[in-house]
Amino acid sequence: MTDAAGAAGAARRAVEAVWRIESARLIATLVRFTGDVGQAEELAQDALVAALEQWPRSGVPRNPGAWLTTVAKRRAIDQWRRQAAFEHRAAALAEELRVADAAAEAAAAASGTAPAAAASSALAGAPLSVQTRPDLAVLQPIDDELLRLIFIACHPVLGRDARVALTLRLLGGLTAEQIARAFVVPTATMQQRIVRAKKALAAAGVPFEVPERAEFAARLDSVLAVVYLIYNEGYSASSGDDWMRPELGREALRLGRVLAELLPREPEVHGLVALMEIQSSRLGARTTREGEPILLLEQDRGRWNQLLIRRGLAALERAERCAAARGAEPGNYQLQAEIAACHARALTADATDWAQIADIYARLARRVPSPVVDLNRAVALAMARGPAIGLVLVDALVAEGRLAGYHLLPSVRADLLQKLGRREEAREEYERAAALAGNERDRALLLNRARALGPRRG
């Protein structure tokens, strides 16, 4: 490889890294600048193309995020100028035609003949004016740029799943495939959902402005779901070569902390922060130095971050107090945080209170029915009462078919079969799970477990 080729490759990798980090804030800034989500997305892509073209020659700028923002804003201004020039010319032409029509009518009146059809009839009654973007630079109740746009994108005109999917696509840096895996639906279905969401917002003429505080409650559920799914993608990447994407997890946790300051009396906000804090405490123990996954029961708990655990438990206490003050039952995120707390309080894997965890999953399933929750409950019951109990529940989920493309279903089934001594069936399930896994590290882990069961018979 030549030096030039090596430099170009390094520049391309730098562009990709910067895009992963900056794309969400860039789009957030551009939506606020233009008031148009579609235009903002196009401008961000234009800036990315410009970086791919220029950085290999000129080098990576000192502040790449600012460079991308400047390029995108200049493109927007150029577009507005061209649009304004076009509309100015169209208005001038309309005026010329109006004057010509008036002269023709006057001449016809003088001669006593009927005037010809006005050439400007297509423009009659529809005066053209230069379009100006909405002024969004007013004082906003949310100071964080990215969080503000999440509230804007989670508009009630869309259904909850559509709100979450669109916001994840625009701001979470997730592909349609990654979002589809989070929702356990086919990628094509998710792509259609995102396209329909954009069209619905455009058709409804939704203004991209921050809702009043009184409207926060109607959007909060979707906002929390967005932050949670961004965090999940960071904690356990659904695709790619790395098992985790820590930058996504850190950003989601930051957003959660901002939300907790913004809405200090919302129990589910504190519940989500508690969940993310406790989960984040394990990050240093989840992989080897080479990036190979280390599963929960095999982790060195001495490497868990005790400061994050304490912060998580404190947030969980705040969630409990807020819920009690309202006379409300624990919500989705508070219950998940209680499960995470059970693991955090266990000094060893053997000390884990699996019966309590299974009970919390049962409460969670009643509140938020989900086959994924049922799968996790099956795991907890298998740990508490034996693999045979868990396998019955897992086989029922297999029969339902709702998790047909979810790689963790055959993965869990393989583990239970292995514990029951059914090695051949376990190997087949590990291989099936590997075929469904989108992440390379997950796939390698599952194939290694299949090989560890020995060669196939016959």
Whether 2 and 81 map to the same domain: the answer is: yes
Rounded to two decimals, what is the model's pTM? 0.71
Looking at the domain assignment, is residue 451 inside a domain? yes
Looking at the domain assignment, is residue 295 inside a domain? no
Whether 8 and 29 map to the same domain: the answer is: yes
| Predicted pLDDT of residue 6 | 60
Whether 383 and 456 map to the same domain: the answer is: no
Whether 419 and 381 map to the same domain: the answer is: no
Whether 386 and 409 map to the same domain: the answer is: no
| Predicted pLDDT of residue 347 | 94
Whether 97 and 6 map to the same domain: the answer is: yes
- CA-to-CA separations, 260 to 218, 270, 319, 413, in angstroms, rounded: 17, 6, 10, 38
Whether 365 and 445 map to the same domain: the answer is: no
Report the 10 Å Cβ neighbour count for 346.
Answer: 15
What are 311-341's pLDDT values in tens digits?
A: 999 999 999 999 999 999 999 999 999 999 9
Looking at the domain assignment, is residue 386 inside a domain? yes
**Is-contact 208 201, C-beta < 8 A?**
no
Tally of domains in the chain: 3
First to last CA, the chain: 48
Say which residues have a Cβ less than 8 Å from residue 103's Cβ, sequence separation at least 6.
none
| Predicted pLDDT of residue 240 | 73
Whether 31 and 98 map to the same domain: the answer is: yes
Three-state secondary structure string covering the chain: CCHHHHHHHHHHHHHHHHHHHHHHHHHHHHHHHHCCHHHHHHHHHHHHHHHHHHHHHHCCCCCHHHHHHHHHHHHHHHHHHHHHHHHHHHHHHHHHHHHHHHHHHHHHHHHCCCCCCCCCHHHCCCCCCCCCCCCCCCCCCCCCHHHHHHHHHCCCCCCHHHHHHHHHHHHCCCCHHHHHHHHCCCHHHHHHHHHHHHHHHHHHCCCCCCCCHHHHHHHHHHHHHHHHHHHHHHHCCCCECCCCCHHHHHHHHHHHHHHHHHCCCCHHHHHHHHHHHHHHCCHHHCECCCCCECCHHHCCHHHCCHHHHHHHHHHHHHHHHHHHHHCCCCCHHHHHHHHHHHHHHCCCHHHCCHHHHHHHHHHHHHHCCCHHHHHHHHHHHHHHHCHHHHHHHHHHHHHHCCCCCCCHHHHHHHHHHHHCCCHHHHHHHHHHHHHHCCEHHHHHHHHHHHHHCCCCCC
Whether 369 and 410 map to the same domain: the answer is: no
Show which of 107, 138, 169 is a domain's final residue. Answer: 107
Looking at the domain assignment, is residue 310 inside a domain? no
- Please identify every stretch of the chain with a pLDDT value under 50, giving residue numbers as ranges: 1, 113-140
Whether 61 and 2 map to the same domain: the answer is: yes
Whether 13 and 63 map to the same domain: the answer is: yes
Looking at the domain assignment, is residue 450 inside a domain? yes
451 is in which domain, residue-wise? 405-458
Mean pLDDT of the chain: 82
Show which of 107, 142, 172 is a domain's final residue. Answer: 107
Looking at the domain assignment, is residue 343 inside a domain? no
Whether 18 and 76 map to the same domain: the answer is: yes
Show which of 85, 107, 129 is a domain's final residue. Answer: 107
What are 16-75's pLDDT values in tens digits?
A: 777 766 777 787 788 778 777 677 778 888 887 888 888 888 888 888 888 888 988 888
Q: For residues 201 and 219, what is the distance between their CA atoms, to the nearest angstrom?
A: 15
Chain center to CA of 283: 20
Looking at the domain assignment, is residue 320 inside a domain? no
Looking at the domain assignment, is residue 222 inside a domain? no
